Chain A
Amino acid sequence: MAEVINLQQVAASMSRTDKEELRIGVYVCHCGTNIAGKVDVAAVTQMASKLPGVVVAREYKFMCSDPGQDLIVKDIKEHKLNRVVVASCSPRMHEPTFRRATHRGGLNPFLMAMANIREHCSWVTQDHKAATEKAMDLVRGAVARAAWLEPLEPRQVPVNADTLVIGGGIAGIQAALEIANAGNKVYLVEKEPSIGGHMAQFDKTFPTLDCSACILTPKMVSVGQHKNIKLLSYSEVEDISGYVGNFHVKVRRKSRRVDENKCNGCGVCWAKCPAVAFPRKRQVLLGGKPIRPDNVPAPEKITDSSHKPDAGKIMDRILAQFDKLKAEKPAGTCSMCALCVRVCRDVVGAGVLGIGKAGNDKAIVVEKPERCISCGACAQVCHSGHISIIEDAGSNSNRPPRREPPKVQHRNLNLGPNRAIAIPFMQAVPALPVIDRESCIYFKTGGCQVCKQVCERQAIDHAMEDQTVEFDVGSIIAATGFTPFDASRIEQFGYGRLPNVLTALEFEKLNNASGPTGGKILMANGEPPKSVALIHCVGSRDKNFNEYCSRVCCMMALKYAHLIHEKTGAEVYDFYIDMRCFGKGYEEFYNRLLEEGVFFVRGRVGEISDYAIYEEEKGKLVVRCEDTLIGAVRRIPVDMVVLMTGLEARKDADVVAHLVGCARGKDGFFLEQHPKLAPVATATDGVFIAGVCQGPKDIPDTVAQASAAAAAAISLSKQGKVEVEPITARVNEDLCSGCRLCNTLCPFNAISFDEKKKVSAVNDAMCKGCGTCAAACPGGAIQQQHFKDRQLLEEIQQVCAP
């Protein structure tokens, strides 16, 4: 140590009287061979028995066992011990165990100190001599500390019986229902306009091939109708403060621009809305040419809009005419109905199109390209297809030249109506539409507002603002789910460049009966594929991306193989490394697929390309792979490729983790308290996690974990109160100089400043005992209970003694 610490001054802040005779019991644990295998436990015990204040020193095989704990209990009574030292594993393992034993013996549990001679000693070296020496140092230190420990009383705080569940997927839904059925109140906050999460996007679930929506929607409806569940959809948690049993939550309710008390979900608004929502980045083509060329920027706002005030009635008439023309006239050639011109001028207010001349004939022409906001209204009312919308993927020499606009969009599939005002999907809970500000015409031109005009309940208000609600809960369950791996990171698979290369979730949505193809598996050109490749482990089990296995993709691939056979009869090639079929009925499902005639190729895919070398590869996607079972490299031409993309932690997982006070593992998923024995609890009391946000898992495991988290929350509320460890910090007002350094350092905002007395004060309820303020205080005015300066310095001095 560099400087001499005036122990007299430090001791002055301690309350122990020097007259009290120390009677310390030391217990050195073998922990089987975990400690005894490296440390000479007998020698350590011998040394301990000679230390000042030690009246009994014992060694035992398993101190944490009942007979082990009984040693402590008996000795306290028989030898009248007033301090206990246990040299064993990490306090994070058994501090509560030995505290309880000490308490049973009749001694204050905080008069027990531990020396970690396992995780910090026997487990980190092969050197027996060094391990024994270190164990002796640590025991000496613990005994020195124990001498200065003081009795402390744990605080009890009441527990609010309500729970906050963040995330409305199957995990959040299950947890909310369990808690609500137990009679407690739940606030379920979901950032999307509807609950249901990823499961609502699935078509069928493995291995039973149950329809996903059929098994999910009853639960969703229960949530929507449950008297104990307050559903806050289209909302995000902004702030959480407090501690276990007493959390204060602020939620921002985003504005749907639809009044949920008036709207009855009739659907007239989205039926008449002229603007499209997806694809997000789009180009609108008139006769195959972009209406607004690439070099003309999109207008931010149009101030001199030409829209008419009765746009709603005009849209009604336009749509009626459109329906008539669609039924009568053939697709293909422009019939000069000019509905596009009218909608753009009178409803949208941009007036981009007009009637002009193309050669000798009349034609629809682009008059004011700079005013085009790409809302897609013109395409919506074009019965012939002369006006179309394509995804604007940007031009790039690495993209194959586009022959014609795709008939089926595979990316950015929408399961609900593709409009600026739309319900997310037909079974949404709540069954309310939401206005997508990015696509809504009103915000760009001040025109349209057809939805507002046709709504019979006057439920639409474009000026509606976000709202904030605040409430208190006792426990929090984070069930925020996952993000699929971005397949464009693996360039050689051609995702985002080549047509007909889809990710697993995109393929899922394509199969969904609510999707744009009504559940048919179609290629971009509108035809069903004759051969499909399924590629396992995209972004998973890969040192370049994520080393872990995403657990569910093998089963999903098998499910897709079955669906492809059933719906199209196409040949299916499944490229796998292993087949992970671990659950109930999973292996049997795999056998079924084997019998259905899927071509399983065991090997990694090197690349997917569109350059054909052999005749049969022309016009197809070529999968170049290694077939390890026959020991050859193969080229397999297919029509469509589905990449089984892995599950990753959400991009905003760090924000949510920070909000609830949960740590994250190295893969970004939320960290559970113990990987085997405490999968739903976190290091923060009162905060639980469930579902894929904790790690990739399938639906049965998600539901089980959600029920587990719910049980934990209910248990907390049933206890009614919770004990808070009394290891909080205290400010000695006499020593405090009012510098306020601690105020800013406290990570939990638990320290306030008393303006009158000009000293800082620690809020005992918010303090988590991290020790930051005590360490930082320049004047030594802050002492942390159970970790006071004298206690720590004595321990350090003994550990470092020669």
Chain B
Amino acid sequence: MRIAYYPGCSLEATGRAYDESTRVVAAALGVELVELEDWNCCGSTTYMGVNELLSFSLSARNLSLAEKAKLDIVAPCSACFTVLRKTDHYLQHMPQVRQKVDQALAAAGLTYHPGSVKVKHLLEVLAAPQVMERLRGQVKVPLAGLRIAPYYGCQIVRPLVDFDSPELPTMMDRLLEVLGAEVAYFPAKTRCCGASVMASNEAAALRLCKNLLLCAEQNDAQCLVTVCPLCQMNVDAFQKKINSRYGTHFNLPVLYFTQVIGLALGLDARTLGLGREITSARDLLEPFVKPAARQAVGG
């Protein structure tokens, strides 16, 4: 499988572990990621809330580049995924939007035919049947005894509701089961983490993250696994603040699903970006990390 890779801005900064683990795991599973040449920021959902037309134009540029390369796009970040898909959807169904966006694209010498590029989330690419088959055969370190709360976040399943179930998806649950891990019951699996509201209204976002951690703790999860860099950062980096604010004692590592896949495949923990997380996963993951790389983790 060959597909255009759209990392998005987060993956080059705070979400670097996601980018690293994605590249390594995709290669191991035979998914060829071709980084989209000259991609630009998608504006994320914040920009769409501020200026829809400019946001559509930004995304349309990425879509037109993918169309030029004759490839579909895979986005690991849920916000990029939602924004790109929404743009494609609006361009298909609203001629007045398409008209204006076409003008914007034309100014850059580009065109885009709505519907010609499929936008996929990294989760659905790695959970595709053929890839799962390969994964099943390549698991070297089954994550036995690791109890994971599968955290999807909200944007992967809403507002465009054709990705798995909008309330209680199971795509990642099944993938984690193939890795041999124990999937904890996690009814908050699609609750919002606050995303960029953490910057503008920290109190509100902290409360949302606190509720997520509470649910994970109540169901005896040892860690959360996410599919979005913003979810990962919010739930991971602010645990100390949440603890001091609410009097809780959370210490739950939050990992990317590609990181746990990589561990199960027996890949070098360093190449998976392990150690970049704020709430350390070192102790939890020690039994699963290959001995050679054990010292490097936690750096």
Binding site for B on A (CB under 8 A): 396-401, 491-492, 497, 607, 609-613
User: B170 and A611: CB pair below 8 A?
Assistant: no
Q: What sequence of 0s and 1s flags, for each residue 218-253 of chain B, a beta carbon within 8 Å of any chain A beta carbon?
A: 100000000000000000000000000000000000
Q: In the docked arrangement, what's the CA distance between A794 and B123, Å? A: 67
Q: Which of B144-202 contact A (CB under 8 A)?
A: 150, 165-168, 170, 173, 177, 183, 185-188
User: B150 and A611: CB pair below 8 A?
Assistant: no
A492 CB contacts on chain B under 8 angstroms: 167
User: A609 and B187: CB pair below 8 A?
Assistant: yes
User: B167 and A611: CB pair below 8 A?
Assistant: no
Q: In the docked arrangement, what's the CA distance between A354 and B214, Å? A: 46
User: A491 and B211: CB pair below 8 A?
Assistant: no
User: A397 and B173: CB pair below 8 A?
Assistant: yes
User: B185 and A491: CB pair below 8 A?
Assistant: no
Closest residue on chain A to residue B183 by CB atoms: A397
Interface presence of B215 (CB below 8 A) = yes
- A397-B185, A398-B185, A611-B218 known, 14 other contacts, Cβ within 8 Å: A396-B170, A397-B150, A397-B170, A397-B183, A398-B168, A398-B170, A401-B185, A491-B166, A497-B168, A607-B167, A611-B187, A611-B188, A613-B211, A613-B214
Closest residue on chain B to residue A399 by CB atoms: B185
Q: In the docked arrangement, what's the CA distance between A396 and B170, Å? A: 9
Q: In the docked arrangement, what's the CA distance between A397 and B181, Å? A: 12
Q: In the docked arrangement, what's the CA distance between A492 and B173, Å? A: 18
Interface residues on B, range: 10 to 19
User: 5 closest pairs, A vs B, by CB?
Assistant: A491-B167, A397-B173, A398-B168, A611-B215, A397-B183
B150 CB contacts on chain A under 8 angstroms: 397
A397 CB contacts on chain B under 8 angstroms: 150, 170, 173, 177, 183, 185-186
A400 to chain B, nearest CB (A): 5
Closest residue on chain B to residue A490 by CB atoms: B167
A609 CB contacts on chain B under 8 angstroms: 187
Q: In the docked arrangement, what's the CA distance between A491 and B183, Å? A: 20
Q: In the docked arrangement, what's the CA distance between A169 and B218, Å? A: 48
Closest residue on chain A to residue B168 by CB atoms: A398
Q: In the docked arrangement, what's the CA distance between A398 and B174, Å? A: 11
Q: In the docked arrangement, what's the CA distance between A400 and B211, Å? A: 18
7 pairs from A and B in contact (CB 8 Å cutoff): A396-B170, A397-B173, A398-B173, A401-B185, A607-B167, A611-B187, A611-B218
Q: In the docked arrangement, what's the CA distance between A613 and B177, Å? A: 28
A613 CB contacts on chain B under 8 angstroms: 211, 214
B211 CB contacts on chain A under 8 angstroms: 613
B214 CB contacts on chain A under 8 angstroms: 611, 613
B167 CB contacts on chain A under 8 angstroms: 491-492, 607
User: B185 and A400: CB pair below 8 A?
Assistant: yes
B170 CB contacts on chain A under 8 angstroms: 396-398
Q: In the docked arrangement, what's the CA distance between A400 and B183, Å? A: 12
Q: In the docked arrangement, what's the CA distance between A610 and B214, Å? A: 12
A398 CB contacts on chain B under 8 angstroms: 168, 170, 173, 185, 187
Contact of A610 among B173, B183, B187 (CB under 8 A): B187
Q: What sequence of 0s and 1s flags, for each residue 246-284 of chain B, a beta carbon within 8 Å of any chain A beta carbon?
A: 000000000000000000000000000000000000000
A633 to chain B, nearest CB (A): 13
Closest residue on chain A to residue B174 by CB atoms: A397
B183 CB contacts on chain A under 8 angstroms: 397
A740 to chain B, nearest CB (A): 48
Contact of B168 among A491, A610, A611 (CB under 8 A): A491
A697 to chain B, nearest CB (A): 33
A14 to chain B, nearest CB (A): 54
A619 to chain B, nearest CB (A): 11
A621 to chain B, nearest CB (A): 11
Q: In the docked arrangement, what's the CA distance between A396 and B173, Å? A: 9
B188 CB contacts on chain A under 8 angstroms: 611
A401 CB contacts on chain B under 8 angstroms: 185
Of B173, B185, B186, chain A has the most CB atoms within 10 Å of the CB of B185
A496 to chain B, nearest CB (A): 11
B180 to chain A, nearest CB (A): 14
Q: In the docked arrangement, what's the CA distance between A398 and B189, Å? A: 10
A491 CB contacts on chain B under 8 angstroms: 165-168
B172 to chain A, nearest CB (A): 9
Of A401, A491, A497, A611, chain B has the most CB atoms within 10 Å of the CB of A611
Closest residue on chain A to residue B212 by CB atoms: A611
A611 CB contacts on chain B under 8 angstroms: 187-188, 214-215, 218
Q: In the docked arrangement, what's the CA distance between A611 and B168, Å? A: 14
Q: In the docked arrangement, what's the CA distance between A383 and B188, Å? A: 41
A539 to chain B, nearest CB (A): 16
Closest residue on chain B to residue A607 by CB atoms: B167
Q: In the docked arrangement, what's the CA distance between A398 and B219, Å? A: 12
Q: In the docked arrangement, what's the CA distance between A609 and B215, Å? A: 11
Closest residue on chain A to residue B165 by CB atoms: A491
B166 CB contacts on chain A under 8 angstroms: 491
A497 CB contacts on chain B under 8 angstroms: 168
Closest residue on chain B to residue A609 by CB atoms: B187
B174 to chain A, nearest CB (A): 8
User: A612 and B187: CB pair below 8 A?
Assistant: no
B165 CB contacts on chain A under 8 angstroms: 491
A497 to chain B, nearest CB (A): 8
Q: In the docked arrangement, what's the CA distance between A118 and B286, Å? A: 82
Contact of B218 among A396, A399, A607, A612 (CB under 8 A): A612
Q: In the docked arrangement, what's the CA distance between A160 and B173, Å? A: 64
Q: In the docked arrangement, what's the CA distance between A491 and B170, Å? A: 13
B186 CB contacts on chain A under 8 angstroms: 397
B168 CB contacts on chain A under 8 angstroms: 398, 491, 497
Q: In the docked arrangement, what's the CA distance between A400 and B168, Å? A: 13
B157 to chain A, nearest CB (A): 11
Closest residue on chain B to residue A396 by CB atoms: B170
Of B150, B168, B214, chain A has the most CB atoms within 10 Å of the CB of B168
A395 to chain B, nearest CB (A): 11
Closest residue on chain A to residue B191 by CB atoms: A611
Q: In the docked arrangement, what's the CA distance between A399 and B189, Å? A: 13
B173 CB contacts on chain A under 8 angstroms: 397-398
Q: In the docked arrangement, what's the CA distance between A669 and B174, Å? A: 40
Of A398, A497, A613, chain B has the most CB atoms within 10 Å of the CB of A398
B281 to chain A, nearest CB (A): 22
